[in-house]
Chains A and B, each alone.
Chain A
Amino acid sequence: DSGVTQTPKHLITATGQRVTLRCSPRSGDLSVYWYQQSLDQGLQFLIQYYNGEERAKGNILERFSAQQFPDLHSELNLSSLELGDSALYFCASSALLAPSHEQFFGPGTRLTVL
């Protein structure tokens, strides 16, 4: 158990809908990362927040957005869903920004868009 929790574990929805994925980082970790794992794109970095502020952006679609709240939990919002958004979405957290600080991954949320 990494200490990172993600809810829900599974999500099935229809095209055009909007969903919210939630992540609680390890206690004390200030940085949260979102990654998408799909069969065709592999594991890709989406976005990073540090202490409530957006720090880095990767291959995140405009239909997707995220935020980190004062209690440090984070939410990833996916809207106007398409079939191709079906994937496993991972959240990771780390204590600080130094490279030696390991990123701890949650168990993921499996999103299926029908």
Chain B
Amino acid sequence: AQSVTQLDSQVPVFEEAPVELRCNYSSSVSVYLFWYVQYPNQGLQLLLKYLSGSTLVKGINGFEAEFNKSQTSFHLRKPSVHISDTAEYFCAVRTQGTDKLIFGTGTRLQVFP
């Protein structure tokens, strides 16, 4: 069975500092990887996705993620965060041959001034 682990439930960081949100997955078959963001009282919005090709993926709002097959990781990074990045971030995996997303438990990013 597939699973996604987000190691940090909360990440506090000061504005303009870099941040990394960690995500590890478990799967015996090929996967497609996603990061979604959920702002307060809103639905989920896709930040970026890895389907194939280059392991470094760039997304919206200055975020990027790197797929590491050997470490089964897909960590999300941003070199300089803003107050407006405060939100819940979800890592998700979709296995080949299925359409459903399996989500991690989420990481709450809190950016302080």
Contacts and interface: CB of A to CB of B under 8 A. Distances in A.
16 contacts: A2-B45, A33-B100, A33-B101, A42-B105, A42-B106, A44-B103, A48-B99, A55-B99, A56-B99, A92-B44, A94-B99, A99-B99, A100-B49, A102-B46, A103-B46, A105-B43
A31 B100 contact: no
A99 B43 contact: no
Nearest to B100: A45
Closest 8 pairs (CB-CB, A-B): A43-B103, A105-B43, A105-B44, A45-B100, A107-B43, A99-B32, A42-B105, A106-B43
Contact of A45 (B32, B45, B49, B102): B102
SS class, residues of chain B in contact with chain A: loop
B98 interface: yes
Classify the interface of chain A: helix, strand, loop or mixed. Answer: strand
Interface string B59-74: 0000000000000000
Chain A interface: which size bin? 20 to 34
Interface in A84-114: 90, 92, 94, 97, 99-100, 102-108
Interface residues of B, number: 22
Contacts of B106: 42-43
Contacts of B45: 2, 105
Interface of A: 2, 4, 31, 33, 35, 42-45, 48, 55-56, 58, 90, 92, 94, 97, 99-100, 102-108
Contacts of A103: 46, 101
B28 interface: no
Contact of B43 (A31, A94, A108): A108
A106 B102 CA distance: 17
Contacts of B46: 102-104
B94 A99 contact: yes
